[in-house]
């Protein structure tokens, strides 16, 4: 099995290893209107509520000379409504247990910071569309492939599984041979013992030995849950994972994720003839600070730029609090001194 669509590798691997999922067909207008338009848009269901709030504020401010309303009729730029598709999304979410992980060719991982839960769990069509709209990763991919083959752009909703980051592994496989594995998210700073590594290697090796249908050079994302059951989250051709990020150096750095391996090391593994030393499984040692490996990804999901701004703001607040405490302390001692 070479990686094609989710239907192909789910059928090949078996449903016991693949979480339930649903595909929602998206037409051309839907993709273009939601992902290829600039600016902040308001969901149609929110317009009446926002207009009521704005008009109420205008009435309160009528007697205030300092408030100048240039246009009493405030209008909102709304996103086009696609009730059939949105209804299909909501139906799929309900069928998959009420919470899903969305993916439109790419997962909107860079938009997790906008979610209340700081992850990609969605319970409604509104939440799915908000994540997709806010994801630069998704919109970039769609904009690059929209004109040439928009029909290949599909929305997939996968049933939500609570994932411990230490159980996610990115595996590299050639024609069914397990070559190497690395923690999927090296920013989670989960340290594994040698015994943990041996157990993970045993579980992954056993899984790949049972899968005789795998063909080609594949990148597979696999999760090992608390019961040591393996879930295959994604399968992609190694060549496809490279071609999507070869346009520019910045895009390449953003898209490629070889974990604790370099790109060259993975390419060398795929061309290796002597397999006696395989598989190679790398882990985060307890003495390592893995945050230095991936500067832009943090467990909170907040982008590096916002995190830096938050740190600066926190420093300002801490300095202000320290100043107030010092002033209070000085005032108290000055008052005490005058009483004496």
Give the pLDDT score at 171. Answer: 96
Sequential DSSP letters for 44-83? GGGHHHHHHHHHHHHHHTTT-TT---S-SS----BPPP-H
**Higher per-residue pLDDT: 317 or 291:** 317
Q: What is the pLDDT of residues 260-274, one digit of tens each?
A: 999 999 999 999 988
Confidence class for position 38, pLDDT limits 50, 70, 90: low
Q: What are phi and psi of 216, to 5 degrees?
A: 90, 180
Least confident of 187-191, 264-268, 290-294, 325-329: 290-294
Give the pLDDT score at 57. Answer: 52
| Separation in Å, CA 79 to CA 34, 76, 83 | 7, 10, 12
**Higher per-residue pLDDT: 293 or 210:** 210
Q: What is the DSSP letter of 18?
A: S
Contact 179, 172 (CB under 8 A): yes
Q: What is the pLDDT of residues 190-210, one digit of tens each?
A: 778 888 889 999 999 999 998
> Does residue 98 register a pLDDT over 70?
yes
What does pLDDT average to over the chain? 76
| 107-132 mean pLDDT | 90
Range of 40-44, 116-120, 297-301 with top mean pLDDT: 116-120
Cis amide bond preceding 120, omega within 30: no
Give the pLDDT score at 295. Answer: 35
Coil vs helix vs strand at 30: helix
> Does residue 54 register a pLDDT over 60?
no
Give the pLDDT score at 8. Answer: 74
Coil vs helix vs strand at 7: helix
Least confident of 12-16, 172-176, 238-242: 238-242
Give the pLDDT score at 221. Answer: 94
Q: What is the pLDDT of residues 124-135, one digit of tens each?
A: 998 999 899 889
Q: What is the pLDDT of residues 59-68, one digit of tens each?
A: 555 555 544 4
> Does residue 242 register a pLDDT over 70?
no
Give the pLDDT score at 70. Answer: 46
**Higher per-residue pLDDT: 46 or 144:** 144
Sequential DSSP letters for 133-198? HH-HHHHHHHHHHHHHHGGG--EEEEE-----GGGEEEEEEETTEEEEEEES-TTS-----HHHHH
Q: What is the pLDDT of residues 167-189, one digit of tens each?
A: 999 999 999 899 999 998 887 76
Give the pLDDT score at 318. Answer: 63
Confidence class for position 91, pLDDT limits 50, 70, 90: very high
| 255-284 mean pLDDT | 88
Strand order in the sheet with 168-174: 230-237, 217-224, 168-174, 177-183, 280-281
Percent of the chain clearing pLDDT 70 (strictly above): 62
Coil vs helix vs strand at 88: helix
Q: What is the pLDDT of residues 206-238, one digit of tens each?
A: 999 988 778 889 999 999 999 999 999 998 888
Coil vs helix vs strand at 110: helix
Confidence class for position 299, pLDDT limits 50, 70, 90: very low
**Higher per-residue pLDDT: 256 or 339:** 256
């Amino acid at each position: 099995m070479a990686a094609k669509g989710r239907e192909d590798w789910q059928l090949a691997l078996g449903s016991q290893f693949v979480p339930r999922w649903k595909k929602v067909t998206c037409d051309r207008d839907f993709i273009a209107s939601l992902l290829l338009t600039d600016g902040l848009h308001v969901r149609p269901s929110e317009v009446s509520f926002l207009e009521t709030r704005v008009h109420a504020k205008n009435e309160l401010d009528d007697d205030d000379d300092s408030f100048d309303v240039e246009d009493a009729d405030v209008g909102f730029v709304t996103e086009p409504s696609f009730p059939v598709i949105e209804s299909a999304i909501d139906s799929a979410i309900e069928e998959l247990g009420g919470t899903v992980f969305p993916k439109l060719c790419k997962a909107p991982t860079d938009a997790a910071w906008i979610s209340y839960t700081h992850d990609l769990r969605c319970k409604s069509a509104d939440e799915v569309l908000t994540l997709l709209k806010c994801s630069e990763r998704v919109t970039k991919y769609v904009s690059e492939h929209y004109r040439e083959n928009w029909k290949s752009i599909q929305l997939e909703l996968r049933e939500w599984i609570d994932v411990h980051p230490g159980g996610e592994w990115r595996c590299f496989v050639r024609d069914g041979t397990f070559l190497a594995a690395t923690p999927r998210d090296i920013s989670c700073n989960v340290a594994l013992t040698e015994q943990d590594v041996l157990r993970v290697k045993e579980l992954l090796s056993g899984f790949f030995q049972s899968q005789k249908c795998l063909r080609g050079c594949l990148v597979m994302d696999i999760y090992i849950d608390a019961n040591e059951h393996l879930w295959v989250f994604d399968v992609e051709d190694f060549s496809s994972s490279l071609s999507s990020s070869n346009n520019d150096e910045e895009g390449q750095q953003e898209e490629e994720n070889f974990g604790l391996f370099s790109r060259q090391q993975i390419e060398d593994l795929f061309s290796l003839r002597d397999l006696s030393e395989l598989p190679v499984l790398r882990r985060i040692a307890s003495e390592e600070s893995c945050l230095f490996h991936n500067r832009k990804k943090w467990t909170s999901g907040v982008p590096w730029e916002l995190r830096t701004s938050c740190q600066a703001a926190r420093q300002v607040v801490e300095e202000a609090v320290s100043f107030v405490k010092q002033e209070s302390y000085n005032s108290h001692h000055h008052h005490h001194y005058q009483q004496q």
